[in-house]
């Protein structure tokens, strides 16, 4: 399962253009942009972080962001160690395989592949919902699914053209979010500078609310910061580019969220809950309108809709690369492991991913169900636990690889930091389970049963890998590379 770019064989390619992604298609900046686009900062501020501000520890959410950043720095220290040895479009699966063996890596591969595909379904669906909300005041009232189909057309086109073009489009989308958020921060600084109090960084504030719930929502806010590694095969000098892109993304997002959340607290005079009146979704629109003017409401709706499109583009690229990598490893149909002979993009996986999304959205269209209520909660719950499983297993893999002599590095990077990250991530995973109803915002039995898919994916991946081991090398084989 592990791929190393030092030799063509171990890079997972046979020299054929139809099995090779385009080298040098993206650099450090492009990797950072694609990772930030997947998180969609403005949308995250108005959803997960607003939930923490209203239902969690309130203003102390700013300090929780600092705590989570520290945990993710521990994770990143080990993560980039593996990145120096392993380059693969299915990053997590290859990283886990390097330390824990191909069977574990294959289980993670299927978990990640399903998770990223479901993320595209969610963002494609709700992008139609938000586009409908944005255009309706302007006199254009179409069904949400028409907008979603147009978004899928854009996603598919960019997927065919390649990650280089996708990163250019998402850079514009990220730029719009930063401009609007920056304008809000400046407006609050000018009009209410005394609102920026330092007590938001005090540990004393963590006792005044649901600390565990805030941990969950802040961690979810930074989920996918590390996804630049999935573009390693398409990066220039990936052994250096991936670590740089990963650290840069984490620091940039943390800075944006600290500044944005602090500004929201200042704008609300230290009481976000009173402004939102128990509705976290109302917090950001209310404050943006108050400090930027009535025009901000329409613009905010449009920018949020566009930012969700950016997230859909980013997750589509992640999904297709995990499909490509998994097919190349024999876990999925071999056709998904082919790339376009000229553009060297995973065009078969692109088409398959779009069909997957349409198939999942079709029942909502046929029944007239609301994608915001029936689709997003279920997928959010699954992907929250999927993220914990991927990251914790990856951290354990670093330690295992170090003990087996498969990686070298400082004691901190190969043992201490991954161990601390594993402890922090597993604690967060336990909190997600405790607060699962709050994460999904649903008490539906089928929505809350979605995590069972994780088990099914892991079992399928592991059993499929064992079949491959028996077929290729005989019973008992389970090395870190296949």
Residue 5's pLDDT band, with cuts at 50, 70 and 90, is: very low
- Whole-number Å distance between alpha carbons of 395 and 390: 9
pLDDT, one tens digit per residue, over 94-136 is 999 999 999 999 999 999 999 999 999 999 999 999 999 889 8
Q: Where are the alpha helices (DSSP H) in 404-482?
A: 411, 417-434, 436-440, 445-448, 452-473
- Whole-number Å distance between alpha carbons of 136 and 139: 5
Name, in order, each residue with C-beta under 8 angstroms of 414's C-beta and a sequence gap of 6 or more.
78, 81, 398, 399, 401, 402, 407, 408
Q: Per-residue b/e over 66-86, b at no fewer than 16 CB within 10 Å?
A: ebbbebbbbbbbbbbbbbebb
pLDDT, one tens digit per residue, over 285-339 is 999 999 999 888 889 989 999 999 999 999 999 999 999 999 999 999 999 999 9
What does the pLDDT average to over 207-218? 86
Rg (CA), the chain: 22
- Whole-number Å distance between alpha carbons of 293 and 355: 42
User: Could you tell me the end-to-end alpha-carbon distance of the chain, in angstroms, rounded to an integer?
Assistant: 5
- Whole-number Å distance between alpha carbons of 115 and 216: 18
On whether the CB atoms of residues 314 and 38 are closer than 8 A, the answer is: yes
What does the pLDDT average to over 49-53? 94
Domains for the chain: give ranges and CATH numbers.
Answer: 17-473 (1.20.1740.10)
- Whole-number Å distance between alpha carbons of 271 and 65: 18
On whether the CB atoms of residues 394 and 461 are closer than 8 A, the answer is: no
13 has a pLDDT exceeding 60: no
On whether the CB atoms of residues 315 and 116 are closer than 8 A, the answer is: yes
Q: Per-residue b/e over 444-473, b at no fewer than 16 CB within 10 Å?
A: eeebbebbebbeebbebbbebbbebbeeee
- Tokens (6 digits) for 341: 């002979």
On whether the CB atoms of residues 170 and 314 are closer than 8 A, the answer is: yes
What pLDDT score does 478 carry? 54
Q: Could you give the percent of the chain with pLDDT greater than 70?
A: 94
479 has a pLDDT exceeding 70: no
Whole-number average pLDDT of the chain: 91
Partner residues linked to 248 by β-bridges: none
- Tokens (6 digits) for 29: 């900046």
Integer angstrom CA distances of residue 465 from 286, 331, 374, 459: 52, 7, 34, 10
Among 186, 218, 214, which residue's Cα sits nearest to residue 292? Answer: 186
- Whole-number Å distance between alpha carbons of 456 and 454: 5
Q: How many CB atoms lie within 10 A of CB 130?
A: 22
16 has a pLDDT exceeding 70: no
Q: Could you give the percent of the chain with pLDDT greater than 90?
A: 79
């Amino acid at each position: 399962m592990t791929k190393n770019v030092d030799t063509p064989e171990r890079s997972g390619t046979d020299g054929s253009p139809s099995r090779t992604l385009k080298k040098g298609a993206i650099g450090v900046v492009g990797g950072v942009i694609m990772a930030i686009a997947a998180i969609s900062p403005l949308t995250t501020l108005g959803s997960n972080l607003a939930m923490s501000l209203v239902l969690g520890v309130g203003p102390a959410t700013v300090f929780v962001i600092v705590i989570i950043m520290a945990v993710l720095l521990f994770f990143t220290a080990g993560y980039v160690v593996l990145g120096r040895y392993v380059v693969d479009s299915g990053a997590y699966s290859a990283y886990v395989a390097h330390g824990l063996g191909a069977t574990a890596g294959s289980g993670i591969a299927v978990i990640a592949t399903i998770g990223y595909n479901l993320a595209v379904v969610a963002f494609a669906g709700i992008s139609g919902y938000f586009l409908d909300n944005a255009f309706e005041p302007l006199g254009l009232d179409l069904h949400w699914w028409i907008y979603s189909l147009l978004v899928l057309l854009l996603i598919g086109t960019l997927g065919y053209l390649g990650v280089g073009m996708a990163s250019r489009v998402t850079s514009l989308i990220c730029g719009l979010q930063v401009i609007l958020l920056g304008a809000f921060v400046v407006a609050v600084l000018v009009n209410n500078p005394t609102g920026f109090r330092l007590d938001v960084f005090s540990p004393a504030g963590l006792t005044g609310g649901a600390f565990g719930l805030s941990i969950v929502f802040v961690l979810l806010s930074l989920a996918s910061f590390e996804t630049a590694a999935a573009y390693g095969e398409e990066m220039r000098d990936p052994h250096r580019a991936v670590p740089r892109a990963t650290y840069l993304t984490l620091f940039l997002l943390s800075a944006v969220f600290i500044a944005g959340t602090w500004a929201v607290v200042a704008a609300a005079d230290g009481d976000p809950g009173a402004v939102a009146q128990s509705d976290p979704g109302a917090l950001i629109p209310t404050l943006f309108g108050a400090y930027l003017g009535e025009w901000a409401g329409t613009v905010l709706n449009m920018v949020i809709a566009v930012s969700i499109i950016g997230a859909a583009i980013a997750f589509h690229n992640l999904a297709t690369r995990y499909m490509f990598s998994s097919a190349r490893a024999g876990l999925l149909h071999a056709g998904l492991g082919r790339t376009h002979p000229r553009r060297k993009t995973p065009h078969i996986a692109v088409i398959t991913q779009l069909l997957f999304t349409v198939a999942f959205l079709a029942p909502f269209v046929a029944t007239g169900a609301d994608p915001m209520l029936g689709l997003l909660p279920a997928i959010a719950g699954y992907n929250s636990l999927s993220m914990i499983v991927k990251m914790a297993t990856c951290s354990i893999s670093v330690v295992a690889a170090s003990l087996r002599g498969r990686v070298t590095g400082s004691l901190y990077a190969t043992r201490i930091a991954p161990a601390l990250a594993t402890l922090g991530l597993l604690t967060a995973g336990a909190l997600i389970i405790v607060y699962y109803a709050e994460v999904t915002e649903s008490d539906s039995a089928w929505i809350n049963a979605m995590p069972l898919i994780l088990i099914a994916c892991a079992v399928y991946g592991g059993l499929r890998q064992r079949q491959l081991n028996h077929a290729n090398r005989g019973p008992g084989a389970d090395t870190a590379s296949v």
